[in-house]
Amino acid sequence: MSQPKIARIDQSKLRESAYEALHEAFTRGAFAPGETVSLRTLADQLGTSMTPVREAVRRLVAEGALVDTPSRTLEVPPLTQPECANSNRHAWR
C-alpha cells in the first residue's frame, strides 16, 4: 500500500476553529438578540462545510449563546438585565 500524497486535515482543529470564530462573533454582538441564523449562512461566512459549524453550534447552544427553537431554527437569545446594563454603559462612553 502506498503512502498518501496529501496530509489529512485535522478535523478537530477545524471544529475548534469554527467554534472559536462563532463564539467570538456572538460574544461581541455581531448578531442582534432575537436574530435567527442558519447553519448554511454561518458555514458560508466561515468558508467551511456545515459539519464543523453544526458541532460548534451544538456547543454554543449548550452554553446558552444560541437557542435551538422548536421550528429547528437558531436564534440569538435576548440580553439579560445585567447584559443590558453593561451594554448601555459601554454605549455611552
For residues 72-83, one letter each, b for 16 or more C-beta atoms within 10 angstroms of the residue's C-beta and e for the rest, the string is eebbbeeeeeee
- One pLDDT digit (tens) per residue for the chain, 93 residues: 667 677 777 778 999 999 999 999 988 889 999 999 999 999 999 999 999 999 999 999 999 999 998 888 899 998 755 544 454 434 433
| pTM for the predicted model, two decimal places | 0.74
Contacts of 73 (CB under 8 A, 6+ apart): 36, 37, 38
